[in-house]
Chain A
Amino acid sequence: MSEIVKGRILKINILRFDPNEPKILPHMETFEIEEAYGMTLYIVLNMIREHHDNSLMFDFVCRAGICGSCSMLVNGRPTLACRTLTSKLDENISLAPLPLFKLIKDLSIYTGEWMRYLNEHLETWIHDQEQELNVDKLEERMDPDLADEIYELDRCVECGCCVAGCGTIQMRPNFKGAVGLNKVARYHLDPRDKRTDEEYYELVGDDDGVFGCMTLLGCEDVCPKDLPLQSKIAYLRRMMIKTAIKN
């Protein structure tokens, strides 16, 4: 017979605010939850909503680190709640919504609007000079290593952690951030994208783009998908310098 082991009592401090009720000022609220084996913050939040306060708002979809919805500040650092084991944390846990994005309520934020603007601005899709679509034409072959490299960068789920972890973008909101630069690097690598180096330079060759990056590497260290952001921003920086020299 195994003994019933009592878990730690976790004190979850959540920053609460509803922009639709601005009279109730932002405040911290503490909930106590008994820790269970293998518990993640996603489970904690659901328990709070079920047993303590059903008005608590937070986002989740996949609960497995795939969708990128449950990004939030955990003890000040952006991460995905569903991938954060409580056993790795102190008993006192503070949760807050990611900064910079539009707040819906409590921990729920609207990353979609921001990301959509970014994608439209950077035109993160394949630009092919052949305007007409020919479905009968075979696609050009691609080196498997290159395909892997592109796929690796495509794994971005737009959770917004790199944006919240970036000191530069906090100070200068026009900065494209790692999410944007990673996407540009992805299309720059892709031989199907026919944009010229000069066109790429126009996109990110300024202080709002790759030259604004101060290499604080918050993005690299908080990315839940472990994307090679440091190395891809360095790649883009070298490419932009090359383009400038060429012209």
Chain B
Amino acid sequence: MRKKIDKMPAILDFLQSATGLVLALFIMGHILFEASILISNEMMYKVTLMFEGYYFFGERYPGIISFLAAAIFVIFIVHAGIAMRKFPASYKQYKTITKHTMRMKHEDSSLWAIQVITGFMMFFIGSVHLYIMMSQPSNIGPFASSSRVVDEFMGPLYFMLLLSVISHAFIGLYRLALKWGFMEGKNTEVSRGRFKFLMKAMIVAYIVIGLSSLAKYTYIGVTHDFSDGVRYKSETIKIGEHK
């Protein structure tokens, strides 16, 4: 009789990578969709309508956003729970890894420190953002989102969230590729160099895009007159006429 192996370590390791991959891909889309505000208010409104299912059902269902946010929240919690195992678990471990990282002056070891710090930050700021998206799915739009950034003081939180999530996601994707030997090639030095370049380029690009969108939302939030509510009134799309 063969002894049964304990599959849990393999499952946890695989899940950590898989949930991280899903979240990173999600963020890559998320930042681009929200950057639609840079094109025009109308464009961002259309993207909002798309996610609310308007183009599929002819009616707006903000519940879809709630559902998506909840799904991401679950994946986020699973990822956080599994990845937490890798955190330094005691002061001694914390001291050891900090000293080691300082001493080595080794880029990939230092990148890991960034992942731990940003991961820890997102326990809190990521949860706040996800919960609001889940509980107020209808308050997304060119004016509603701008009002949230400025009047509800979400700006600083979004700023921190943007920096942490982008660096965490792309450092994570880089590490995933090396960890599993994705597109490794014969010379790992070359493939690793390329992945590292890609990672840095993506971090810069996404932070620029994200900060620009945040600036635009802030600008709208400061300059727009919200006296008749935060609803956006489109010139071209009249809700209900598609039916």
Seen from chain A, the residues whose Cβ lies within 8 Å of a Cβ on chain B are 73, 76-77, 99, 165, 167, 170-172, 198, 201-202, 205-207, 209, 211, 213-218, 220-221, 228, 230-231, 234-235, 237-238, 240-241, 243-244, 247
Contacts and interface: CB of A to CB of B under 8 A. Distances in A.
Interface in B88-112: 88, 93, 96-97, 100-106, 108-109, 112
B7 to A, nearest CB: 4
Interface of B: 2-7, 9-14, 85-86, 88, 93, 96-97, 100-106, 108-109, 112, 175, 178-181, 184, 188, 192
A205 B185 CA distance: 25
A244 B105 contact: no
Contacts of A244: 5, 7, 10-11, 14
A77 B108 contact: no
Nearest to B101: A167
A158 B4 CA distance: 33
Nearest to B182: A234
Nearest to A94: B103
Interface centre among B10, B175, B180 (most CB of A within 10 A): B10
A243 B109 CA distance: 29
Given A211-B9, A244-B5, 15 more contacts: A76-B103, A99-B100, A165-B106, A198-B5, A202-B5, A205-B6, A205-B10, A211-B13, A215-B175, A217-B109, A217-B192, A218-B108, A221-B106, A230-B188, A230-B192
A62 to B, nearest CB: 26
Contacts of B105: 76-77
Contacts, number: 101
A234 B14 contact: no
B96 A231 contact: no
B9 A207 contact: yes
A186 to B, nearest CB: 17
B7 A207 contact: no
Contact of B5 (A205, A213, A215): A205
A170 B179 contact: no
Given A77-B105, A167-B101, A170-B97, A211 B5 contact: no
B7 A214 contact: no
Given A76-B104, A211-B13, A238-B180, A170 B96 contact: yes
B12 to A, nearest CB: 7
Given A77-B105, A214-B112, A244-B5, A167 B100 contact: yes
Contacts of A209: 9
A200 to B, nearest CB: 10
B103 to A, nearest CB: 4
21 contacts: A165-B104, A167-B100, A205-B6, A205-B9, A207-B85, A211-B13, A214-B112, A216-B108, A216-B109, A218-B109, A220-B188, A221-B106, A234-B178, A234-B180, A234-B181, A234-B184, A237-B13, A237-B180, A243-B10, A244-B7, A244-B14
Given A171-B97, A221-B106, A247 B178 contact: no
A215 B165 CA distance: 20
Contacts of B12: 211
B17 to A, nearest CB: 9
Contacts of A165: 104, 106
Nearest to B7: A244
A184 to B, nearest CB: 15
A172 B4 CA distance: 26
Contacts of B181: 231, 234-235, 237-238
Nearest to B109: A216
A207 B83 CA distance: 12
B117 to A, nearest CB: 14
A172 B178 CA distance: 21
B7 A247 contact: yes
Contacts of A170: 96-97, 100
A243 B112 contact: no
A240 B109 contact: no
